Every structure is written in structure tokens, then in C-alpha cells.
A and B are shown apart, each in its own frame.
Chain A
């Protein structure tokens, strides 16, 4: 997906010993949204910690980075000959001959290194300089800021397409200076801004300003507008929408003491996992303290002061737990944490309740978005068929009053609340509405200027679309599962070759490991015979996987 922004000037910070003033440059292509306020001194520190935690999310990337082995290979290339010579040298005299030559070579190489060192140093400094100059490239999408009559909130999504964060502040946090206009806009964000956020203090006045038309011209002929054109990967957008859609779904809700989160982080910081499963298993029993089991170490964490208040016992596993470490800065300032668990392998939400602020961390079900996770969930599936007129009516009603609960909307529009909920889900999938899990209302927020075509984003590949059709028509026979020796489960089924050709059956097998990853598969279909797993699993495997998930 392509995004275009046009900022007038860039965000600026004016800093003095007693005050900091931050002026954000909004996207001028959007409907003007403006806002000017100073931060309440009592909440300044909490706000700083929260916004810093959010920055951690913006730049976080927990995908496995391949090790850079170029230096090793360069060394190997230089030394391979001598290593080989070592190996081959059988005669003593040859060794003796080699020794002085090698000593000389080492001397020469050392000298060379010495001579060339200043060059490398200068080069590195230059690259560092470039890196700092262009560091803003590291931020994928500038954070979105939304001003509502009751709240101001900031939203962002991580580079690795798996973590969503939102900080919503009631207007108590700010002391307003004049009028403000509700709406949503992107702000020009840079890492220099992050540094400035660190300077927020209670004894200093901090002033935020989002101006309707950017800043006034300061130097006559300078080119003031700068335009950002960002080509976002579809998978990024899909991740964002999946996570934010998930927020409105039913979930296990539990409350944690800040020190419980501290304990979680402590456990994760103290240990490194070398094998799977890398999950936290929540063991929830009504009336009992919440228990977390850290696999594979088997560490059991009992949260003595957090009692599960739900009605049904449940066991939920979540993965990608290292992403929780972004909550560290909030432990000291949060009153409590609320956790919403959608289910095993599904997104989870961690809400830190700060005084007059709520920080929501949304984690997708996985960190890496590779094929071994493909087709696990279809959160972008339409819930109920909603006609266009209804959808538009709901959209109009919500956009005019900015936020509303499902029930109030249903009452207002004289519609069935299920229908309204479903229409809201559709809007969330299109990125126009965000669910506020704290107030349990839907809020109008246009993520991007033009509405997103969710149909084009729903499936990561054609295979997933075909698999969804197979599951929808229930074309799977003899589904069997069995635990395998090395850990994990093997699923087998006969799946119709396609939805039109139900006579031909493909014998399909998949194996999921302890981390619920699809690690092995087999199928008699043409796609698998041609490509094996090199281009990802075939539609039959994905279909089995979807059915298996629901069991």
C-alpha cells in the first residue's frame, strides 16, 4: 500500500531551562486537526514514561536477524590458504619454511591494518553521520494522533508487524490553551523527538502544539514542505488491522498488579530460551490466583494478589513474550495492568492504567510473520453480512459524535445491536474505527486518508483464500490427529482438491510443533508436488490448519 504525507516544516522543539515546547507538524493533506496544551505537572512523569514505552514499540523489531558473517568469510578467505597449508604440511622442513614467511606476512598484515585504520575510522564516522542524518527512515509509519472531545490518543505499530501500542489521555492530562479541533492526523516523528520527550519534568512546563496549517514561514526561500512517500508492505497493514480488530472480540479479562508484570519481565530477563516452546501458559481458575507457566523452563509464577474473577476456567498460551519487555518503563507508574487474552495463539492486549491515561499494548499471536504461521487465523473475516446503507448509517452516526458504544448506536439508529456490532467490525477492518478497550466504546479514527480496501488485504496469499473457501464449504474428510514423538501434533485429512472438484481428494498431512508452527507437511496435490514447501504450504494444508486451530 502506498501512503503519501505532506508535512509543512518538520516537528520542532524549543527548549529552555524552564520550558519545553513541542510543535508537531501534521499531515497537511488531511482535514485540519489542531490542538495546543501544556502538560499537567503532576502527570508529566507518567506521561513521559508512557510515551517512551510507545517509542520502544515504534522502533522494536524482534524478527530474527541473520548473523552477519561477512567478516568471518573475509578472514577465512585470507587465511584459508595458510590453514590448508598447515593441514597439508607433512614434512617438517616445509613447516620451518612456512614459519618465517608467515611471521613476515603477519607483520605486513599488521602494518597494513595500522596504515588503513584511520581510513576505516573516518569511513565509519561518516557512515554514523549518515545514519544519524537518515535515522528517521527507521520509523516505518509516523504515529497517528487523534483528538476526540474526551480523549487524545496516540497510536503506532512496530516495524516487525506484530506490536500495536496506543496511549490515550483524558483531557485532564493537559491544560488547554484555546480551541481544539477533533480529528486524526499523522505527525512528523523523528528520533530527536524521542530525546526531547526524555526531558519532560514536573518542574518544567511542557507545551504541545499541533497547528492546523503547520508553522509559519521562517526563512523566505527555503523549501518548507517535505513530502514522505511510504510504500507499506501489505503484511504490515494486515497485521495492524488484525490486531486492532481483535480488540473488539470477546476475551478472557484479568487484572495484574504492576509487580506481576515486573516478575514477568524479571523472569524473561534472567533466562534465555534455546529451544521451543517459547510461550507463556496462563492457567486461569475462577477465584484462584492467576498462574503463569513459562515454557520451556517450567517456571511457575503465581500472582498472589491477582485473583482471576472470570467465571470459567481456561488455559491460554501466548507467544512472542519478549515483546512484553516494552512495558518495563510503565511498571513504576502504572496503578494496575489489565490483560485481555483472546485465546491460544491469538492476539492479546495489555492495558496499563496510569492516572488519567491508559496505555494499550496489543500483541499479535506471533512475532515473525513467516509461512509457518500462515493461515493461522482469519481475523479479517466478515462477521455478518451488513448492507451498505446500514454500514454508512453507522459510520455517519459515529463520525458525527466521535465515540459511542454499540448499544447506544443501536438505540440511536433503531437497529439490531448484532448488526451494528458487525458493521463496526467492518469499519475497524477498514481502519476507520478503533475500539477503546478501556471505555468499551468504538471511536472514529481514520487511520489513513483514503479508506482501505480490506478485501485486498484479507489474505496473505491466494492459497489462504482458497483454504478459507475449502473450510467454509466444509470439504475436509477423515480429520485425524496424533501426538508425535518429537513433540507436536500431526494432523491428517483428505481434502477436496478444490471447491469445484470435490471428487478428487488430496491426502494431506501437517505437523505442528510445540510452538504451533507448521513445521512439516505433505500433500498429494499438484502445488505441493511442484514446490514442496519452498513457496509455503498448499491450500489443503492451510485448510487443515484452520480447522485444527478451532479444535
Chain B
């Protein structure tokens, strides 16, 4: 009898999980000999093949074995292994996180050096200007000073200077005349009208004529101006004139404009007609007011025409004339065009020639020609942009009211659609002093390159920095945030002027399309408390519904302030609730929550709330609606009907409110809906044919809530919905279908089944009530189930809610449970064994049912097969069955062992444990133990070896060795080597023993042919063979044959042992050496005379 003396199981978790077993066991030995012992070590990962080694190539005495055992154990413990029996899990105390060390960063304030020279008082400046005009002072001035003086007078509109200016007309060069015309036109003294008219006709210089004409127009009476405009119209080409006449009679402005625009492409045929002239003429016509068409047409043209040579002259003239007339809208639009339009020529200040049509021409010469080929160079563009700011700045410095209106025009022309993208710029620069690179991070807002915008809006912003030319504006960035900064302080230019005209700020908030402008204007308006208090409800509502957050915030702040101490009326509450600005809605909800009983009877409010885009509002509405009286509910329903028929509701808003509407109809309005008269139901039925999904869905909800609603739906409508390609509409159809009376549905099991296994989850969901309702009819549920089983065998790749299989399983677990349990057992078993995951899960579900027939029908073999199942539940159940029915398992042990074939670690470890603990030594048959050892899993092989070691029977030794020796794995070969001696000792007859030995030849060859491994087992086998060879001549011959084959090896240690063995054999049986293939010639050793004394251990 052989057995385990000691077995220590060790485990190590770091760095990878490793298990180790150190074993001290009694060596297999015949009973009469003194007991000897083996120390074996096994180590490896639980799921992999373990490394097996033996510390005792040959059995040793107990004391030696104990020492070896202790040594191995100590070395393993040193390697970090822990004894599994001794350890208890130690809890690790969580250390408190150290308080974060916040660093205080210094704040470097960098301010832009701002040197704004304050102008002297305006009246003082005016006096100086006027004092320059008398002849004495005038004669002392240079030409430049004179023109400058006149221009300034024009800017300030000093009417008292006009008589003297008239005297100065045509007294010097054209520039002075130009400035005088400008000044007179601005001052608006009608007495100078004739002079201007004359100048416009007499002057030989084009720009003087142009300015004089503008001045005259500004001074002329409306009749005169209209007459002039009519004259212009009369000169137009006939086509254009007729189009114009048609346009004036057109029904709408847009149609009229289209009329004119359509005729323009034919302009090539019109002789002597110029586009730029026409635009200027349009402007003059617009000024005189004879046609409402002219101004919109002009603005449309200026907004859309590309800035090119053909029209640039008009742009330039119109820009100057807008500046002259203080026409803010025109001025703003033209400026914004210059901001956005790329120049046609890139010039630097010292370029004088441009390359045109194969030759260089002087730009300055070319640009003066009437039909110039150049225009709008980069210098021009920059000049014009700077000029806009200069104009605005001078107006602002003068404190003129024109500043605000002109700036409003410029800001209104700004549009986010034309803005760039906010970005971060990284500039890396070498710093010579610190000898390191310094990185500067700049935030460029979307408006970074809009010079005038930035001048107007950011001028007093200490954070904003600008380039020398003020063409680029940026802020030093500290974060990666790209959002346009909110504004706490006012930063705009001339704030006092804006404060004087808060209505312009309001206008900006109402009309601007630019976020930056809203930020500026909302902040500026906050400082005008008085104005804010006067804002009307409509204005505030409009601002609250703005698309721009700063404006919404401003409006909400104003509203809050207004209702600080009172409750807003219903109208205001609706306004607040309708907006998508959450704080406003919350504010209103606060009031409603205070006195819900007051508001519960307001049908309009409830409909507005339940359809609100905000989730919170709808939730509050649910609370309110409960308290509504019957009468109120009635009105709510009729209001809802009106709302539902509105085609203007945005569909995303309606979709968001769908669930709540459904809830309202089913829970609050159910009685009212049930009492709806037929004609109202018909209206809802019509909505089913709508093209909007939300309307159809709402109608479906109403119809389903009405007891006879489904009867009103025409079969055609229902069919269209069911067959619709859109899954959403199909789901509506299926819900309606599900509402059909039970006797109708019972006729249609196939349709129900098809809808219940549709790909869209909503369609399937609609079938759940039908299935629950009709499951009581066994015939129906059987048909349904057959279809489901068919579907569940097919693969389904969807997860979660989308999965058809999941729904089927739910139905089978719920309404169809009885039918599913009544399925034939073989179908249930097939479900379990199917490839489709859904089928497996359904099978698992059926297996779990206590009243199901499946579990009871299974034999041990089938339970063992279920140990391999992919569903954990099933495997656990199989384990449970095994534990519960131990006697049965004992009876069918062969079948039960199949559970070891599982690839799931938890089941395998259960099985290994189970068989170790529950099956006694005498219950195992030899073939079963061998089958365990032959198993493909390393863990099961270990079990087999362990059992054999424990329940070893001497009489079986030969059988074990013969069978196990055929195993290919190294650990099994090592295991077998322990019993070689016992196996031959079992035979009393030497001949039989030799036969046994011969049967083991493949094993010997296999072990001895291992390349560079299996040292222990090789040594054991060689020594065993050496000993066996000496038993008889037959043995010797057998052993010699093996040694002869193997002795060719280059492995020195093996070779030495083979030679030793052969020498011994030759000494014992000299006849052997006479055979022809004897590999050795024995030459007497010179050093070791007694060769036989060299034992295997000493090699």
C-alpha cells in the first residue's frame, strides 16, 4: 500500500497566480522491503499544465525525505508562496488621502498702455474752427489746413459757417470745393442749394461733382429731388424701365425685386449702361422716396454682389455717401463687406506697378481710368476699414448722437454666419535672457479679425491685446476653453454715449445675429436700470425667446426683478414656461408649486406645460393635472385637440413630450376620452393619416383610450400603418392592431407572431398585451410558441432591448409559461443544446422551472453534458443536481465523469472537488482512473494521478504502468517512473516480467529520446534498465538493444550511463558482445580499474 505522508498546497498571487504542491509520499515498494520515500513538487497555473519535478530521482529514507521536504518548502516560501491552509485574508486598511496641496499662483496683471487723449471741450474746438474762416486768418493757412478746417466744420455741422464757405467756393483747388460741398451738405442750409446745383454741373472734377450732387440732394425739397430721380429713371434702358414698372406693380416686394434681378443678366446688350452707375442711381432714388423698391433692392445688391472691378466704384461712392448722410444701415453693410471680402490685389505701400494683361502698369494711373481694370487693393481695403473706425471715433469724441446710430449699423451687420472659428494660437519664441523657449498661448475669438467690431466692443477691455495695426485682436489664454468670454464689466468704446441711447441697445438685442454683440449689448443694458424697468411684456418675452443666452439671461434678470415681490399672472407664467431657458421655467414652476390648486384648473396652462420642451416642466404638470376637476379635464382635452392639429409644432418638441402626453391621456383624460362623441373621434381618426409621426402617435393614444376607438379606424388606414416601411408607424399600427377584439385577434395567430418577432422593439412591445391577453387560449399560444421556437433557433446579434430573443424569453417566462413548459421534452433539450444563445437561455429558463418536465427527465449523462453549457445558471444547476443525487451519480459514475470535459473553470474545479470527496477508493474502477489520467485537461489528469496515488493497489501496478506509459505528457511519464519496479515485481515468472518489459519499450524509447529535458525520469529509467539487464540473458539482450540505439547521443551524462550499462552487461554476459552490431569495443580503462564501482549517482 502506498500513500501520501504530507502534502502542502502553496499559492502565490504576485506577479501571476501560481499554485504549488510539495508532496512527501511513500515510494511504491514491495511490502517486505524497508519503506522509502519520494519528494515531488508540482507547480503551475490552475488552468495549465503543471511543471512536475521530483527532488528524489531515487527513493530515500524518511529522514532524508523530511530534510528535502523542509528544504523545498523553505525555498518556496522564500519565493513568495504562502501556505493556503495557514493564511487568513488580511484586510488592508485604506489610507486617508492626503489633503491636496493647492499652490498659490501669482497673478501678473498686464495692462495695455492706453493713452487716450481727451479732447478739449467741443465748443472750444468749434470756436477755433470758426475763427479760422475770416479772410485774414484764412490767408495765413496752407491748402491742407484749409481743407481740413472745412472738413471739420462739416463734421460738426456748424451752420454759421455756410455763408463764408459759399464765398470760398472755387477759390482754390478741387479738394477745397469737395470739402465745402461736404460741409454745406452736412450743415443743411437750404440757402446753399443753388450753389451746390451749379457746382455739380460746372465742376470739371468728378468727385467734386459727385459730392456737390449729394449735397444738393440733401438740401433740395422733396419735389426737386423726386424730379431729379424721375429724370434718372427716364435714362435707363427700355428693358430695365419696363421691368421696373412691372416690379412696382408686383404683389410683393420680393416678387418685384425678382422682376428686376431677372432682367439684369441681359445688361450686356444695353449700351452705355454701367452697373456701378445704376447702383448709385438706385441709392438716389431710394433717398427721394419715389419707389419703395429702390432701397431693398440696393441693400440686396450690396449684400450679395461680389466686390469686383465692375461695381467697386459704386461701393466706394455709396460708402462715402452713407458716411456723409449718416446712413447707418448702408454704412454698416458696406463696412462689413469690406471686412469680409478679400482684396482683389495685394499691394504693399511701395508697390507701384501691377501686372495686367501681359504688361506692367502703374497702379495709380490705371485706377484713375474710367474703365479701370484695377480696384479694391489690400491697401484700399485696409484704408476703408480704418476709415470706418476713424469716422466712428471722431463722432464719439464729439459726443455726437450719430455715433450710436452709426455704431448700431456696423454692429447689426455683424453676423455669426460670417464669423471665423474660435481658436488657440501657440507662439513659441526664444528668450535670449533665460536661454529658453517661451510659449505664449493666445485665444482668438471668432471675431478676432473684425477690427471695428473689436474697437467698438472691446476697447476698454484690459485683457484684450491687439497688433500694431489693430487688425488682429486676442486675449492671453490660460485654459483650452474656446468659448467666447462672458462679460462682467463694460468694455465698449464710449459707454456714456450708449447709455444715452439705450433703445439702440435693445434694438441690437432684438435684431443682431451675432453672439458677441449680444454679450456687449446685454451687459450694457443692465446699467440702464430705468430703461429696463420700462420694457414692455412683449419686448421681454421676445428677448426671453431669443436664441442667444446672454439676452435670455438679461431678460430673465429683468423679469425676476419685476416679479421680486409679486406673483406673475398666468400670461407671464406661460411666457416663462414656453422658453427653453431652464432657469426661467424653474422660476415659473416655483410659483406654480407654491399654489398648485390655483393653477390646476387652468387648462391652457396645463396644455402648454405638458407640451413644453423642458422635462422638469412636464413633470410638474403631471402633478398638477391630477388635481384638475372634471370640467377642466374636458377643456384640456379640447385644447389638446386644437394643439394636435397645429402643423407648426416642431416635431422634436412633440417627440420629447410624447411619453407625457401618453400618460396624460391614459391617466388623467381617460374618462373624458372615453366619452368623446363620434364626430370628435372621427377628427382624431383623420389625424392618423397625417404625415407627422407625432400627430399619428397622439391620435393612436386617444383612439386606444376610447373603448370604441378602434372601431372608427378604417381597415385601410390600419393596413397602411402596418405595412409602412417606417418602424415607428408600424409600431403604431401594431398597437392599434393589438386593440382589436380578442375574437378577431384569435383568428390571426400568424400575424401576431410575425409582429411579435419584428425587428423593431416598439412593434414587439405593442404585442405584449395581446400575448398576455390571448395566452389563455391554448391553441393560440401553441401556434405562437411554435413560431417563436423557430425564430429563437436562428441567430440574433442584437443586445438588450433590441433583442428579439430577449422578448421571446420574457414572454415564455410570463404569459406563455404554461405552453412553454408543455413543450415536448426533446424540444426543450434541443433548445438547451442549440447554437443560438437565445435558445440556450430559453432552455436554461425552462430547466429552472420546478414544475417543468425537463429537469426530471434528464439522466446523469445529460446533466454531465450540461456541465459544459455556456449559461452559468445551467452549469450551477447541474452542479446542484450532482450534489443532491449522489447515489445516482455513484451508480452512473462513467456518465457522471463526462462533466470533467467542461471548459468552464468553476465547473471543473467543482467536479474535481466533488469526485475527490465523494467517491471512495473502492468505487473507482481501473478504467475510470485511466480515463481520468488520459483526459485532455491538465487539471483532470492531476486528479487522476492523485487518486491513483491515494488508492493504489499493488496488484494493479502492471496494468497501470502499461496503460499510463502510453501517455505523451512529461508529467505522466514521471509519474509512471515511480512504479516501474513494482510493475515487474508483480510477475513471479521472469519470462512474463520480460514480456512486460518489452511491452514498455515505446515508453523507454520515448523517455530516453527527450531532448535536453526530463532529467529525473531519464535517470530513473536508465538505472531501472541497468538493473533489469542483469536479471537474465533475455533481459540483457533487450536492454542492450535499447542502449545500443541510444548510446549515439551527444548528451554526455546519458552517454556515460549507457556506456556504463553496456559495460556491465558485457561483463555479465560476454556472449552479447559477439553480435555484429555491438556498439562498443571495451578497452581497459587506464585510470579507473574498477569501472563497475562508478555508480549512476556519482555521474
B1005 cross-chain contacts in A, Cβ below 8 A: 332-333
Nearest CB on B from A189, distance (A)? 16
Q: Is the CB of B1009 within 8 A of A45?
A: no
Q: Which residue of A lies closest to B1079 (CB)?
A: A305
- A198 and B936 in contact, given A219-B830, A220-B830, A260-B1048 (Cβ under 8 angstroms): yes
Q: Is B95 close to A, CB under 8 A?
A: yes
Q: Is A456 close to B, CB under 8 A?
A: no
| Whole-angstrom CA separation of A328 from B968 in the bound complex | 13
- Selecting from B112-120, B325-333, B787-795, the interface stretch reads B787-795
Nearest CB on B from A126, distance (A)? 13
Q: Which residue of B lies closest to A132 (CB)?
A: B903
Q: Is B488 close to A, CB under 8 A?
A: no
- Selecting from A60-68, A166-174, A262-270, A361-369, the interface stretch reads A262-270
Q: Is B856 close to A, CB under 8 A?
A: no
- Of the candidates A111, A222, A262, which one forms a contact with B1011 in the assembled complex, judged by CB atoms under 8 Å apart? A262
Q: Is A18 close to B, CB under 8 A?
A: yes
B95 cross-chain contacts in A, Cβ below 8 A: 107, 111
Nearest CB on A from B356, distance (A)? 42
Q: Is the CB of A17 within 8 A of B968?
A: no
Nearest CB on B from A428, distance (A)? 34
Q: Is the CB of A196 within 8 A of B936?
A: yes
Q: Is B1045 close to A, CB under 8 A?
A: yes
Q: Is the CB of A222 within 8 A of B1050?
A: no
A18 cross-chain contacts in B, Cβ below 8 A: 927
Q: Is A93 close to B, CB under 8 A?
A: no
| Whole-angstrom CA separation of A45 from B965 in the bound complex | 11
Q: Is B930 close to A, CB under 8 A?
A: yes
| Whole-angstrom CA separation of A410 from B834 in the bound complex | 56
Q: Is the CB of A262 within 8 A of B1049?
A: yes
A381 cross-chain contacts in B, Cβ below 8 A: none
| Whole-angstrom CA separation of A196 from B936 in the bound complex | 7
Q: Is the CB of A52 within 8 A of B968?
A: yes
Encode contact with B along A188-221: 1 for CB under 8 Å, 0 otherwise.
Answer: 0000000110110111100000000000000111
| Whole-angstrom CA separation of A258 from B1049 in the bound complex | 10
Q: Is B578 close to A, CB under 8 A?
A: no
A221 cross-chain contacts in B, Cβ below 8 A: 789-790, 793-794, 834
- A258 and B1002 in contact, given A52-B968, A202-B966, A223-B795 (Cβ under 8 angstroms): no
Nearest CB on A from B998, distance (A)? 13
Q: Kindly identify, within residues 978 to 1008 of chain B, every residue whose CB is under 8 Å from any CB belonging to chain A.
A: 1002, 1005-1006, 1008
B1011 cross-chain contacts in A, Cβ below 8 A: 262, 265-266, 269, 325, 328, 331
Encode contact with B along A230-270: 1 for CB under 8 Å, 0 otherwise.
Answer: 00000000000000000000000000011110110111011
Q: Is the CB of B930 within 8 A of A17?
A: yes
| Whole-angstrom CA separation of A263 from B962 in the bound complex | 28
Q: Is the CB of B927 within 8 A of A257?
A: no
Q: Kindly identify, within residues 993 to 1049 of chain B, every residue whose CB is under 8 Å from any CB belonging to chain A.
A: 1002, 1005-1006, 1008-1009, 1011-1012, 1045-1049
Q: Is the CB of A195 within 8 A of B936?
A: yes
Q: Is A48 close to B, CB under 8 A?
A: yes
Q: Is the CB of B1012 within 8 A of A222?
A: no
Q: Is B833 close to A, CB under 8 A?
A: yes
Q: Is B1051 close to A, CB under 8 A?
A: yes
A219 cross-chain contacts in B, Cβ below 8 A: 793, 830, 833-835
| Whole-angstrom CA separation of A304 from B1012 in the bound complex | 21
Q: Kindly identify, within residues 22 to 64 of chain A, every residue whose CB is under 8 Å from any CB belonging to chain B.
A: 45, 48-49, 52
Q: Which residue of B lies closest to A303 (CB)?
A: B1048
A328 cross-chain contacts in B, Cβ below 8 A: 1009, 1011
| Whole-angstrom CA separation of A42 from B255 in the bound complex | 103
Q: Which residue of B lies closest to A199 (CB)?
A: B934
Q: Is A301 close to B, CB under 8 A?
A: yes
Q: Is B931 close to A, CB under 8 A?
A: yes
- Of the candidates B94, B789, B1046, which one forms a contact with A259 in the assembled complex, judged by CB atoms under 8 Å apart? B1046
B281 cross-chain contacts in A, Cβ below 8 A: none
Q: Is the CB of B1009 within 8 A of A266?
A: no
- A266 and B1049 in contact, given A199-B934, A223-B835 (Cβ under 8 angstroms): yes
- Of the candidates A45, A132, A329, which one forms a contact with B966 in the assembled complex, judged by CB atoms under 8 Å apart? A45
Q: Which residue of B lies closest to A306 (CB)?
A: B1048
> Interface size bucket, B side?
35 or more
Q: Kindly identify, within residues 385 to 399 of chain A, every residue whose CB is under 8 Å from any CB belonging to chain B.
A: none
A49 cross-chain contacts in B, Cβ below 8 A: 968
Nearest CB on A from B961, distance (A)? 12
Q: Is the CB of A201 within 8 A of B1045?
A: no
Q: Is the CB of A270 within 8 A of B793?
A: no
Nearest CB on B from A52, distance (A)? 7
A270 cross-chain contacts in B, Cβ below 8 A: 1012
A223 cross-chain contacts in B, Cβ below 8 A: 794-795, 835
Encode contact with A along B392-407: 1 for CB under 8 Å, 0 otherwise.
Answer: 0000000000000000
Nearest CB on A from B859, distance (A)? 16
B901 cross-chain contacts in A, Cβ below 8 A: 15
Q: Is the CB of B1051 within 8 A of A266?
A: yes
Q: Is the CB of B1050 within 8 A of A266?
A: yes
Q: Is B84 close to A, CB under 8 A?
A: no
Encode contact with A along B952-980: 1 for CB under 8 Å, 0 otherwise.
Answer: 00000000001100111100000000000
B795 cross-chain contacts in A, Cβ below 8 A: 223
A329 cross-chain contacts in B, Cβ below 8 A: 968
Nearest CB on B from A47, distance (A)? 12
| Whole-angstrom CA separation of A265 from B833 in the bound complex | 47
Q: Is A104 close to B, CB under 8 A?
A: yes
Other than the given A17-B927, A195-B936, A262-B1009, 15 more pairs (CB < 8 A) read: A52-B968, A104-B98, A107-B95, A198-B969, A199-B936, A201-B967, A219-B793, A219-B830, A219-B833, A223-B795, A259-B1047, A263-B1050, A301-B1050, A328-B1009, A333-B1002
What are 29 sample pairs from A and B whose C-beta atoms fall under 8 A apart?
A18-B927, A45-B966, A52-B968, A107-B95, A111-B94, A114-B92, A132-B903, A196-B936, A201-B963, A201-B966, A204-B934, A219-B793, A219-B830, A220-B830, A221-B790, A222-B835, A222-B836, A257-B1048, A259-B1048, A260-B1048, A265-B1012, A266-B1011, A266-B1051, A305-B1048, A328-B1011, A332-B1008, A332-B1009, A333-B1005, A333-B1006
Seen from chain A, the residues whose Cβ lies within 8 Å of a Cβ on chain B are 15-18, 45, 48-49, 52, 104, 107-108, 111, 114, 132, 195-196, 198-199, 201-204, 219-223, 257-260, 262-263, 265-267, 269-270, 301, 304-305, 325, 328-329, 331-333
Which 9 pairs across A and B sit closest by C-beta, in order of nearness?
A: A221-B793, A259-B1048, A332-B1009, A195-B936, A269-B1012, A17-B931, A332-B1005, A331-B1009, A332-B1006
